[in-house]
Amino acid sequence: MSNPDEHVLLNFVAGEWKRSTADAYQGVVNPATAEVLASVPLSAASEVDEVVRAADRAYRSWREVPVVERVQPLYRLKVLLEEHLDELARTTTLECGKTFGESKGELQRGIENVEVACGMPSLVQGWTNEDVARGIDEHVFRQPLGVVAAITPFNFPGMIPLWFLPYAVATGNAFVLKPSERVPMTTQVLFRLIEQAGFPKGVLGLVNGGKDTVDALLDHPLVEAVSFVGSTPVAKYIYRRATANGKRAQCQGGAKNPAVILPDADLDMGTRILADSAFGCAGQRCLATSVVITVGEAREGFKERVVQDALSRKVGFGLAEGVQMGPVITAASRERISGLVDQGTKEGAKLLVDGRGLAVDGDEYRNGYFVHPTVVDEVDPASTLARTEVFGPVLSLMHAEDLNEAIELVNARSFGNQACVFTSSGAAAREFRTRARAGNIGVNLGVAAPMAFFPFSGWGESFFGDLHAQARHGVEFYTQTKVVIERWPASWSRQF
Ligand code: NAD
């Protein structure tokens, strides 16, 4: 059955769409207009129990399905996602605010994870030694865990669930998703496609909600593993509570990503790439560059160019023609961003471009949560603005005399999601990539997002756990190894 009332969002339990019995609902808001698009239930613990128990029942037979058969619904899902790309992207833009092109881009990265997981027959292979002693062989098998859950953030409603879901089910687990309550509509479209892809009922479940819904998943005895992406304080909380309950956990947190520009860099290319990194998706990417550290003579050239770029960027509704940047997610987020810029100037920084309080074209967008690109210079590395994740289109500039000082500034942060360097020197790039403390490094790149066949790394306060999302790390996270040692004495074969 498809959704009977598209304004009230549904859960997907045991392969059926189900209206929640929750007491509390929350509005889903278009951040470009402040208009309420739909109503999302904050599901209760009893509903979490229902979806997890259905997943557990489905898991018992799903894990026995040969891996070559388990990946067949994923092949179908890939085709369905491609066929419905525009519908998914429009939905993402409406609820999340990013441009239509950005929404399509994130979905494409999600689809790539489905493609990689289709290779599970090879990825999940164990290993074997024959004759570890006379007549004795030893093997490692990978077996699924059971029911696994993912809790995802607002900024990539299409891609981030697909960092986990394909690997979890292809390895033989059942999977329950709790999407962000701020952007739950993309997931409704995704699960309509999942319904058509032909997974057995219950293998994939969807439960909408907020903190109480998450806590019920973290405490449920049948949930074996938890994948989380979101802010650092919540990532820490989820990691602690999940692991205290004996579950595996991989929790990706927030970021504060620096980029270093050396004097030998191609400044035109570097500025274009870094402005896209800082202002793309309205700065609401965990791989957005938030601090640029210019070295030596790069200082003035970069400053002039990035100011021009910031002033020229067209801001507006993400589905409108020519718009390069949408709104931020909520009014509270806009106020928070504005407050951090004020704090920065109080602590000595200089505003080069102030993007706050500016209107966008179109009367229907006058209530939207827009912040235009903002550039702040001479930011003190010890200031609040330098240390706090802004998650908005605000670029802070710092300066260093040489590469060594720049790397020290990079490594003075508690976050470790990404660090980038712009240079035409291989030796400088090599030194940077060796010494910079971050899980994802970009050389002449501004958004060093790992492809689906590499793990999405993250260090320090940006990641809690050991196995990351995507690719082999995903396979290892969702499986446990079983070691089998067998003795088959040759003398026994003589009886045949
Ligand atoms: P968030 O932490 O507010 O919410 C993420 C999820 O956690 C949501 O599903 C939400 O319902 C749930 N949640 C929120 N508060 C909770 C609580 N107190 N207890 C239990 N569950 C709770 O994050 P967000 O604002 O949706 O997303 C933005 C953040 O995500 C940024 O910090 C960004 O850097 C980070 N992020 C990180 C990565 C990465 O790969 N490291 C990727 C994307 C986003």
Ligand 1 pocket check for 415: Cβ under 6 Å? no
Encode pLDDT of 17-32 as tens digits: 999 999 999 999 999 9
Ligand 1 atom nearest residue 153's Cα:
26
The Å distance, Cα 218 to ligand 1 centre, comes to: 15
Task: Sketch out the chain's domains with CATH numbers.
Answer: 4-253+462-483 (3.40.605.10), 257-443 (3.40.309.10)
pTM over 0.85: yes
Q: What is the pLDDT of residue 496?
A: 67
Ligand 1 pocket, mutate which of 286, 336, 470, 473 (most atoms under 8 A from CB): 286
Question: Radius of gyration (Cα) for the chain, nearest Å?
Answer: 24
Ligand 1 atom nearest residue 215's Cα:
20
- Asked if residue 317 lies in contact with residue 367, where contact means CB atoms within 8 angstroms, the answer is no
Nearest CA to ligand 1 atom 22: 211
CA–CA separation, 170 vs 144, rounded Å?
Answer: 9
CA–CA separation, 63 vs 66, rounded Å?
Answer: 8
* Bridge partners of residue 35, in order along the sequence: 30
Ligand 1 pocket check for 417: Cβ under 6 Å? yes
- Asked if residue 225 lies in contact with residue 145, where contact means CB atoms within 8 angstroms, the answer is yes
3-state secondary structure labels for all residues of 242-284: HHHCCCEEEEECCCCEEEEECCCCCHHHHHHHHHHHHHHHHHC
**What positions carry a catalytic annotation?**
286
Encode pLDDT of 122-152 as tens digits: 999 999 999 999 999 999 999 999 999 999 9
Q: What is the pLDDT of residue 5?
A: 53
Three-state DSSP class for 122? helix
Q: What is the pLDDT of residue 1?
A: 36
Three-state DSSP class for 228? strand
Encoded tokens for 122: 């090879």
Spans of the chain, pLDDT less than 50: 1-4
Three-state DSSP class for 495? helix
CA–CA separation, 123 vs 109, rounded Å?
Answer: 19
Nearest CA to ligand 1 atom 11: 210
Ligand 1 pocket check for 190: Cβ under 6 Å? no
The enclosing H or E element of 73 equals helix 72-83
Q: What is the pLDDT of residue 6?
A: 54
Phi, psi of 34, rounded to the nearest 5 degrees: 70, 15
Nearest CA to ligand 1 atom 16: 211
The Å distance, Cα 341 to ligand 1 centre, comes to: 22
Nearest CA to ligand 1 atom 40: 252
* Residue 434 exposed, middle or buried by CB count within 10 Å (0-12, 13-18, 19+): exposed
CA–CA separation, 350 vs 479, rounded Å?
Answer: 51
* Bridge partners of residue 26, in order along the sequence: 40
Q: What is the pLDDT of residue 492?
A: 86
Q: What is the pLDDT of residue 495?
A: 66
Ligand 1 atom nearest residue 286's Cα:
34
Encoded tokens for 326: 């949408």
Ligand 1 pocket check for 440: Cβ under 6 Å? no
